[in-house]
C-alpha cells in the first residue's frame, strides 16, 4: 500500500509518544503493558495539519527473558522501503524502566530484533555495497532463510550469525587440554596465544634482539665447496626423508644451507626458472646463511636447511603422485621461503621481544614481529646488492607474484595462527581422498603452500628418532637460555616449564605432539601420501612416553641413551 506525498517523515515519528503518532486505539497492541502481542495490520497515523492516514504497520515486542516487554518495534510500509523505530512502553513505577541500552545487554526474543522489516533494511544496505566478502554472502543467505523460519529455527540461525560475525573465525580455542596437566597447558598456551599473555612458540614465532643487519658479502662462500666428494655423496640423498642434516652440518663446517640450497636449486631447476646465474644463487645462499646466528642452538642455518630439505621432499612427493599443484616458479619460491623463513633469528621468543620493549616489537606493534622481520630482511638483503639479487631478471609481474608468495609462506610459520591455517586446510582438503586442484585455484594453492611450509617447519617429531631427539635437545637448550635471561633481567618468564633445573623434556614433547603436531601431520599425510610421517611420529611419541614412565627427564639422561648424530642412522633400542 502506498500513499504519495502523505507518508510520515521520520521527525514526525521518532521519539514521539505513541498517542501523538496514532489516531487508532492501541489497545489491540498493548493492554497497558500487561499483555503484549505481535500486531500486523492497519493503523491510522497522524499527520501535521492533515487528517490521519491508514498505514500497514507491523509491531513486535522486545522482551528480556523472564520479564515483561519493555519496547515495541514499529515497522511501517512506505514507498521505497520500510521505516523502523523503537518505542518505550509505559512501565509501572515499581518496575525498572526499560531502555535501549538495557535491552542490548539482555537476552531477548529473537523475533523481536530480527523482524522482517529490520532484516530487509539491513540486507538492502548490505547488497547495495560494491564489495562483498564470502562470509557476507553466507550471512545474507542465512538472514534470508531466517525470514521464513519458526521462532526456534530463527533463534538457532541467530546463534550461527553471531559466530559468523566474529573476527578470527578460525582462532584457536583450547578445549581438550587437561587442566590437571600443567606441562601441557603451559606449553601449548605459550605456543598459541599472543604477546599480551607472554606467548611463545615452538619454532618460528620468536623475536629479534639484534636489529642492526648489514649485507655480508659473498666472500663467505667456502673456497672448497666444489671439491668435497663426501659432501656430494651425502647430497645424493638430499630428497630422502631420512636425510642426515646433522652430518651435513658437520662436514660442511656449519654451512649446510649453502650446500643443500645449491643442490635443491639444481634439482628443481631454480636457476632457469629465475633466469639467473648459478653464482648469484650461491652468493644469495651464502649471505642468507651468514645472517643466521651460529650461537643459536636451534634457530640457526641447520634448521633452515632442514626446513628446505623437507620442502624439497614434499614437492617431490607431490610430483610423484602426479598432483600438479605447483608450477616451477611456485616450487622455486617455496624453496626460497624455506631457506629464509627464520633469517636473523636471535634465539629468543616473540614474547621476550615484546616484554623487553625491543625496537622491532615497537615497529611491528607486537604483532607477527618475528615473521615480519624475517620476510622484510630477506628482501632487504636480496634487493640491496645486485650481486645476490636472485630476482633481478624477473619481469615486474612475475617478481610481484614471487614476492607475495614468499612473504605469505614466511608469515604462515607464525604459530598463533596455527589452528586457523589447519582448519582452513582441512575444510578444503579434508576428504577421504585428497582432491586435485587446478593452478587457477589460487586460494587453495595458497592454503596448500602454507601447510607445506608449516609442516616442514615443525617436522622434527616426524623425523627418524635419532634426529627427533637431537632437535628436541636443541630447542630445549635454546628455551633454557631464554628462561635464564628472563630471570637475570627480571622479565616475565614466558615458559616456566623450560627451567633447566626442573624441565621434563619428554613431557614437553608429548604435549607438543598431542596438541599441535598430531592432527596437522594426519591432515598433511592424507593429502600428500607420505605414511612415513605418521610412522615416525608414532614411534617417537611412544619413545617419549617410555622415557616419561622411566623418569628419564633431563637432557643429559636422554642424550646418554642416544648414539651421536652426524653419522648414518642406525637401529638402536
How far out from the chain centre does Cα 562 lie?
Answer: 36
Assign 82 to helix, strand or coil: strand
Active site residue 299: yes
The set of cell numbers assigned to 306 is 632442514
442, 531 Cβ separation under 8 angstroms: no
Cβ neighbours of 562 (radius 10 Å): 13
List the alpha helices (DSSP H) in 254-368. Answer: 256-267, 270-274, 278-290, 301-320, 328-340, 350-355, 359-363
Give me the phi and psi of 108, to 5 degrees please: -130, 170
Q: Residues for the chain: how many in total? A: 573
Spatial separation of the C-alpha atoms in residues 375 and 562, rounded to whole Å? 36
| Residue whose C-alpha cell reads 619454532 in the numeric block | 203
With b for 16 or more beta-carbon neighbours within 10 A and e for fewer, the 193-215 pattern comes to: bebeebbbbbbbbbbbbeeeeee
Spatial separation of the C-alpha atoms in residues 212 and 477, rounded to whole Å? 25
Spatial separation of the C-alpha atoms in residues 161 and 157, rounded to whole Å? 6
Of 255, 299, 341, 345, which is the active-site residue?
299
344, 373 Cβ separation under 8 angstroms: yes
List the alpha helices (DSSP H) in 71-194. Answer: 100-105, 110-113, 116-127, 134-146, 151-164, 182-192
How far out from the chain centre does Cα 467 lie?
Answer: 28
Spatial separation of the C-alpha atoms in residues 229 and 227, rounded to whole Å? 6
57, 43 Cβ separation under 8 angstroms: yes
User: Active-site positions?
Assistant: 299
Amino acid at each position: 500500500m502506498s500513499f504519495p506525498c502523505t507518508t510520515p517523515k521520520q521527525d514526525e515519528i521518532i521519539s514521539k509518544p505513541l498517542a501523538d503518532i496514532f489516531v487508532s486505539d492501541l489497545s489491540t497492541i498493548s493492554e497497558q503493558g500487561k499483555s503484549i502481542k505481535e500486531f500486523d495490520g492497519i493503523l491510522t497515523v497522524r499527520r501535521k495539519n492533515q487528517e490521519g492516514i491508514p498505514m500497514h504497520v507491523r509491531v513486535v515486542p522486545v522482551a528480556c527473558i523472564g520479564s515483561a516487554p519493555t519496547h515495541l518495534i514499529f515497522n511501517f510500509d512506505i514507498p521505497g522501503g520500510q521505516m523502523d523505530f523503537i518505542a518505550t512502553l509505559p512501565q509501572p513505577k515499581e518496575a525498572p524502566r526499560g531502555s535501549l541500552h538495557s535491552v542490548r545487554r539482555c537476552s531477548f526474543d529473537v523475533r523481536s530484533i530480527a523482524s522482517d522489516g529490520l532484516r530487509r533494511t539491513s540486507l538492502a544496505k548490505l547488497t547495495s555495497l560494491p564489495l562483498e566478502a564470502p562470509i557476507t554472502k553466507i550471512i545474507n543467505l542465512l538472514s534470508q532463510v531466517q525470514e521464513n523460519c519458526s521462532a526456534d529455527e530463527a533463534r538457532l540461525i541467530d546463534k550461527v550469525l553471531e559466530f559468523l560475525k566474529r573476527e578470527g573465525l578460525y582462532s584457536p580455542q583450547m578445549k581438550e587440554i587437561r587442566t590437571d596437566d600443567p606441562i601441557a597447558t603451559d606449553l601449548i598456551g605459550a605456543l598459541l596465544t599472543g604477546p599480551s599473555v607472554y606467548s611463545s612458540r615452538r619454532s618460528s614465532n620468536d623475536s629479534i634482539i639484534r636489529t642492526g643487519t648489514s649485507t655480508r658479502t659473498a666472500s663467505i662462500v667456502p673456497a672448497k665447496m666444489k671439491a668435497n666428494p663426501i659432501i656430494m655423496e651425502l647430497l645424493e640423498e638430499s630428497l630422502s626423508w631420512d636425510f642426515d642434516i646433522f652430518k651435513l652440518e658437520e662436514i660442511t663446517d656449519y654451512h649446510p644451507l649453502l650446500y643443500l640450497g645449491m643442490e635443491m636449486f639444481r634439482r628443481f631447476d631454480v636457476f632457469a626458472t629465475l633466469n639467473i646465474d648459478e653464482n648469484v644463487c650461491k652468493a644469495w645462499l651464502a649471505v642468507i646463511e651468514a645472517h643466521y646466528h651460529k650461537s643459536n642452538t636451534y634457530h640457526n642455518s641447520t634448521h633452515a636447511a632442514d626446513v628446505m630439505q623437507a620442502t624439497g621432499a614434499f614437492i617431490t612427493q607431490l610430483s610423484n603422485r602426479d598432483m600438479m599443484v605447483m608450477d616451477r616458479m611456485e616450487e622455486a619460491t617455496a624453496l626460497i621461503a624455506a631457506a629464509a623463513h627464520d633469517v636473523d633469528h636471535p634465539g629468543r621468543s616473540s614474547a621476550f621481544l615484546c616484554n623487553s620493549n625491543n625496537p622491532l616489537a615497537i615497529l611491528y606493534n607486537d604483532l607477527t614481529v618475528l615473521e615480519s622481520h624475517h620476510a622484510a630482511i630477506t628482501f632487504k638483503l636480496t634487493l640491496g646488492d645486485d650481486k645476490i639479487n636472485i630476482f633481478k631478471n624477473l619481469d615486474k609481474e612475475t617478481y610481484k607474484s614471487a614476492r607475495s608468495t614468499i612473504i605469505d609462506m614466511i608469515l604462515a610459520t607464525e604459530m598463533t595462527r596455527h589452528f586457523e591455517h589447519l582448519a582452513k586446510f582441512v575444510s578444503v582438503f579434508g576428504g577421504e581422498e585428497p582432491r586435485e586442484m587446478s593452478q587457477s585455484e589460487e586460494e587453495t594453492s595458497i592454503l596448500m603452500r602454507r601447510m607445506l611450509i608449516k609442516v616442514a617447519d615443525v617436522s622434527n617429531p616426524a623425523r627418524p628418532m635419532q634426529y627427533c631427539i637431537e632437535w628436541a635437545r636443541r630447542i630445549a637448550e635454546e628455551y633454557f637460555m631464554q628462561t635464564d635471561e628472563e630471570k637475570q633481567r627480571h622479565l616475565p618468564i614466558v615458559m616456566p616449564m623450560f627451567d633447566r633445573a626442573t624441565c621434563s623434556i619428554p613431557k614437553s614433547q608429548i604435549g607438543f605432539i598431542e596438541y599441535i603436531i598430531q592432527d596437522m601431520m594426519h591432515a598433511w599425510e592424507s593429502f600428500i601420501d607420505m605414511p612415513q610421517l605418521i610412522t615416525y611420529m608414532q614411534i617417537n611419541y611412544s619413545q617419549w612416553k617410555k622415557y616419561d614412565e622411566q623418569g628419564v627427564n633431563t637432557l643429559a639422561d636422554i642424550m646418554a641413551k642416544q648414539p651421536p648424530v652426524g653419522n648414518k642412522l642406525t637401529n638402536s633400542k
